[in-house]
Structure 1
């Protein structure tokens, strides 16, 4: 990896993290919805990137910038995990289960659909 590629990944990740924060402000105080939105969007972008890479429509450098920088900065597994624990601790286990289910089903579904559409 070149220093320039590393810098592009860092800048892309920072911009994506800022976008994630903007989404959390948009959905405040319903953080669960913000996390779901960014995780599903990031999954769809990731699936699309893999589909495009498979048919050589994008190169390896663009792939790593989009997957590691954009998707890595946008999506948030740690917030999703902590939020799930907090929901359970506050007696909202059904909401926690629904959030986990929605993130997994919609996230993997979005990735698969985007991949299949663009490969």
Structure 2
């Protein structure tokens, strides 16, 4: 269990640092593109989690340690949006399109409302 936690922490730390560096790079080189860093991180994260899942399925890799470090750790630290994308993909593939639409809609609406609530309550 400790080894799993350390692998997730290592992967998550690397993902978080890479996200931070991408944000700095984009802010420095494209200062007028406010949301570009988040958009790129989310898009790259979705591609990377999809590629990783596909790779593990293709090569039937049972290396749970590698999956924890890359999928849970790195992708989770880089962006949780990639997990959100994977969950919706899984819902759609299993025929739960209405659940996917509800999950997506509620995540966006409630997320924005809770950001607003948090800002309001902190004042």
TM-score by length of 2: 0.56
**Which structure 1 segments of 5+ residues have no match?**
86-119
**Counterparts of 1:64 and 1:45 in 2: how far apart (Å)?**
14
Distance of 1:62 and 1:24 partners within structure 2: 26
Please tell me whether Structure 1 or Structure 2 has the larger radius of gyration of its CA atoms: 2
Over residues 86-114 of structure 1, what are the superposed CA-to-partner deviations in whole Å (9 max), with x where a residue is unaligned?
xxxxxxxxxxxxxxxxxxxxxxxxxxxxx
Structure 2 matches for 1:25-104, cutoff 5 A? 25-28=24-27, 29=31, 30-55=33-58, 56-57=60-61, 59-75=63-79, 77=81
Equivalence for 2:21: 22
Query: What is the DSSP-based 3-state SS (H/G/I as helix, E as strand, rest coil) of the residue aligned with 1:53?
Result: helix
RMSD: 2.4
| Counterpart-to-counterpart distance in 1, 2:10 and 2:65 | 14
CA displacement at 1:31 relative to structure 2: 3.6
1:58–1:51 Cα change, 3 Å = farther
Change (3 A) 1:31 1:6: farther
- Contact 1:35–1:76 (CA<8 Å) still a contact in 2? no
Secondary structure in 1 matching 2:35: helix
For the residues of structure 1 that align with 2:80 and 2:54, how far apart are their CA atoms? 22
Q: What TM-score do you get using the length of structure 1 for normalisation?
A: 0.58
Gaps of 5+ in 2: 82-107, 113-123
- Per chain length, whose mean CA-contact separation is higher, i.e. which structure has more relative contact order (CA < 8 Å, sep 6+)? 1
